[in-house]
Structure 1
Amino acid sequence: MTHINVLDPGASPLDYYGFELRRLREAAGLTQKQLGDILNYTGSLVGQVETARKVPTPEFSERVDAALGTGGLFSRLVVLVLRSQLPTWFREVAELEARATEICVFQAGIVHGLLQTPAYARAVLGVLDETDLEDRTAVRLARQRIFEKSEPPVFWIVLTEGVLHQEIGGREVMREQLAHLLSFERNPRINIQVLPFLVGAHAGTQGSFNVYRFGSDPTIVYTEGYGSGHPSANPDTVKDCSLRYDHLRAAALSLKDSAELIRRVMEERYGEHRLA
């Protein structure tokens, strides 16, 4: 077990967070239990965060800032902490998401991480590996905070109809997930289109991909394999994927018709009235 006295604040963002939490808690004259009571968390959890054995959440960080009067320090730090907990090969994607002014996604298998509910994300991440599942889920969901920025990116997603039917986590989880997709209906910055089965062969048959656009930097295309990511700024690749995406959006249902299909699948396939 790591001892707080030997924590090196320069070892990682998580270690620095724990070091600062302990330092400022002690400066306030509070025990771990006392701070935990103020935060409505256990003193044990406070101790685990201080010893870098537990990943803090944004909510925990906001409460610490309020309790210790740190001016948003921990809310800023937690962004770096959570990003550092992503798989090494995926950290560049989180950076791209955070900097992009427009994100265009084609998703052929599952709901994209930026739109996943906690239960859906937990079910996806828990396949074959439930180690530190709650922490890994929190890290994934933290990426969604890009939509809370003063100027969030414009997000376009085309997902195949199969994504709506692929039952992940059970009917209740899927119903909640599809309802979450519908919650963006009137959000002009988050646009969801469904590519229906009847389209047949389409421009995305080679697999999912993302296109990231920036204010001044070159456009990046990102594809993914098992345990590896492949970002590319190659002009030919960007041109090809941009054209493919245009064709996918043209072939997909309109925003309104997509929402109607999502609602229909939610009720007919995952509705409470449907017999198991």
Structure 2
Amino acid sequence: MTHINILDPGASPLDYYGFELRRLREAAGLTQRQLGDVLNYTGSLVGQIETARKVPTLEFSERADAALGSDGLLSRLVELVLRNQLPTWFRQVAELQSRAVEICSFETHMVHGLLQTEAYARAVLGALDDTGLDDRTAVRLARQRIFEKEEPPVFWAILSEAVLYQEIGGPVTMREQLGHLLGFKDNPRINIQVLPFKSGAHAGLQGSFDLYRFESDPAIVYTEGYGGSGHPTANRATIKKCSLRYDHLQAAALSLRDSAEMIRCVMEDRYGEQRDVA
């Protein structure tokens, strides 16, 4: 007789999800393998999710809801599960991103997580540690769902020109990532500017930062440091200084149209098809 893992649904959002998935599957009279066949996943994966050994994705959850007639329960739960998988210090930032009506970001060395492709995100997250990489990548990509809300935030992203040349994940990944950025050029809510090398000394020399603005709450500035820690602050003086810095960075950056043209040129000249074959 196969041993059935008994989950405590109150132990964590992941345990609760697994408990509910098993309950729904058994109510439908399906084995793990049968449900996997219906969802186009393996029965083993279904079992790992049911026993809280694997983090479910949004796609898995949507398929399972449709197959089990669960009225979107798993799709709603998966957002809680994925947010809970974030490092403790970053959960507050994910909450800020989900509530913000405007996000202003300046990045010096890589594409912002909210704009990363799957391959690029995997390369970034796996640079020093590839344990649980599939799950950590899925969690990062799930944060991008804020742009699917009925009223998504307005996102301003200023990228240093260096971001376009820092080859993360190889030329194929970079070409895909830059092409992904170009895909936003007609989206008025996602605006991408490049700060060119020729701008010289600029207002962002102290490093990357994010500025979150809300409907009624005070704005918050967020910076990251080494050692897996983030630093959000609502200090009025800091907000004022960073807002001014961002205004100067936008003034020094290329226009939206010229930024898209630079991204396209780098994508084709540096990461063109001839490099992809190598």
TM-score bracket, shorter-length normalisation: over 0.9
Partner of 2:102: 102
Match of 1:254 in 2: 255
Length-normalised TM-score, structure 1: 0.97
Residues 104, 157 of structure 1: 8 Å contact kept: yes
1:236 paired residue number? 237
CA offset at residue 93 of structure 1? Answer: 0.7
Structure 2 Cα separation of the partners of residues 134 and 146 of structure 1: 21
- Cα RMSD after superposing both structures: 1.1
1:269 counterpart = 2:258: no
Tell me if the contact between 1:114 and 1:143 (Cα under 8 Å) persists in the aligned partners: yes
- The list of structure 1 runs, each at least 4 consecutive aligned residues, that deviate by more than 2 angstroms after superposition, is 3-6, 273-276
How does 1:1-276 map onto structure 2 within 5 Å?
5-226=5-226, 227-274=228-275
Cα offset, 1:29, TM superposition: 0.8
Q: Write the deviation string for residues 89-120 of structure 1: whole angstroms up to 9, x where unpaired.
A: 11111100100000000001100000000000
Quick one: distance in 2 between partners of 1:273 and 1:186? 28
CA distance in 2, matches of 1:174, 1:77: 33
3-state SS in 2 of match to 1:273 = helix
Give the residue type in structure 2 aligned to 1:243.
L
Query: Structure 2 regions of 5+ residues with no counterpart?
Result: none
Q: For this pair of structures, how many residues does the alignment match?
A: 274
Deviation at 1:152, TM superposition (A): 0.5
2-side partners of 1:255 and 1:5: how far apart?
54
Matches of 2:251 and 2:102, distance apart in 1: 18
- Cα deviation, residue 6, structure 1: 2.8
Matched residue type, 2:46: V
Percentage of pairs with the same residue: 79
Quote the Cα distance in structure 2 between the aligned partners of 1:118 and 1:141. Answer: 7
Paired residue secondary structure (2:274) = coil
Whole-angstrom distance in 2 between the partners of 1:162 and 1:142: 26
Identify unmatched segments of 5+ residues in structure 1: none
What is the alpha-carbon distance in structure 1 between the residues aligned to residue 11 and residue 245 of structure 2?
A: 43
Following superposition, the deviation at residue 4 of structure 1 comes to 5.3
Structure-1 separation of matches of 2:46 and 2:136 = 18
Distance in 2 (CA, whole Å) between partners of 1:4 and 1:102 is 47
SS in 2 for 1:109: coil
Shift of residue 7 of structure 1?
Answer: 1.2
Question: In structure 2, what is the Cα distance between the partners aligned to 1:54 and 1:5?
Answer: 14
